[in-house]
Amino acid sequence: MKHFVCYGILFLVMVFFLPGLSAAEPSNDDLRKATQNPMADLVSIPVQNNTNFGYGPLEKTQNITNIQPVIPFDLNEDWLIISRTIVPLVSQPEFYEGQGSKFGLGDINQSLFFGPRKPGKLIWGTGAVFLLPTATDSRLGGKKWGAGPAAVALTMQGPWVIGGLVQNIWSFAGDSDREDVNQMLAQYFINYNLPNGWYLTSSPIITANWQADSDNTWTVPFGGGFGRLFRIGKLPVNTQIQAFYNVEKPDTIGPEWTLRFQVQILLPKL
């Protein structure tokens, strides 16, 4: 509950009470859609906090804060590469009484998407994703190197932005005593843009652990929320809050539901 209260207060303060906010300019509408496009030629730094409730055998609370810099690189006038890095800071609860919790860096996820700078109605990108064993504790990561394919596609029709992303990682090296990695991630995203920088959004992350048995393979959340793009002075900032209930989850550790809060700072292209 304390996480929910903190997120709510922070969101209301940023949206309604910070001075110098403006979301009425047409350029803000373009920026808002760019934040909803994974292949946008735009530098940004999203910081996404996910609080998982009812996690683990003791039904504790897990918290993961993902720092996710997005940097585009021009190959030429027609093509570009989008670099997306996910740096997780994990607060892991105990799995049995007396074990104690752990906090630290998790395994970094690095993806590279190749696509056209000026796409048509269908915006797309394809590339690769890499798993780096950077966790500061064995409970925060898998101690495995991994890689696999990744792809994204979306379309923008009027106020709607609809698309999806899919990737699969297989481990190829690392600690031989740890379980191999064979995991899929799929994320669909649906955004409906409203006046004055507001929008409705749903972007759940579906995962499948192909190494697990059938009762522990899938995590399938359902839900959504809302957000707003505004300016602090001249700096564009995008915020959103979403809640998801897991309609399917692993029997052993899957959380009941997740609260996600994200702040995304938009920067001039480097």
CB 216 within 8 A of CB 251: yes
CB 229 within 8 A of CB 197: yes
Q: What is the mean pLDDT of residues 122-151?
A: 96
- CA–CA dist 133, 143 (Å, integer): 5
Does some domain include residue 65?
A: yes
Does some domain include residue 222?
A: no
pLDDT tens by residue, 243-261: 999 999 998 788 999 999 9
H or E element in which residue 257 lies: strand 257-267
Does some domain include residue 18?
A: yes
* Residues pairing with 230 in the sheet: 237
Which residue matches tokens 């579906």? 206
Residue 49 has pLDDT above 90, yes or no: yes
**pLDDT of 269:** 58
Total domain count for the chain?
1
H or E element in which residue 86 lies: strand 79-92
- CA–CA dist 60, 55 (Å, integer): 5
- CA–CA dist 256, 246 (Å, integer): 6
- CA–CA dist 121, 157 (Å, integer): 8
**Which tokens belong to 224?**
């959504």
Q: What is the mean pLDDT of residues 77-84?
A: 95
Does some domain include residue 56?
A: yes
Q: How far are the Cα atoms of 35, 36, 98, 198 from residue 193, in angstroms, in the given order?
A: 12, 10, 48, 6
H or E element in which residue 217 lies: none
Does some domain include residue 77?
A: yes
Does some domain include residue 138?
A: yes
- CA–CA dist 139, 110 (Å, integer): 20
CB 264 within 8 A of CB 252: no
- CA–CA dist 112, 80 (Å, integer): 10
User: Taking all residues of the chain, what is their mean pLDDT, rounded to a whole number?
Assistant: 89
- Which of 86, 110, 66 lies closest to 263, judged by CA? 66
3-state SS class at 89: strand
Does some domain include residue 220?
A: no
> Which CATH number does the domain housing residue 40 bear?
2.40.160
Domain that holds residue 183: 2-192+199-214+236-267
Does some domain include residue 113?
A: yes
**pLDDT of 183:** 97
CB 97 within 8 A of CB 74: no
- Percent of the chain predicted with pLDDT > 90: 76
**pLDDT of 109:** 97
Residue 17 has pLDDT above 80, yes or no: no
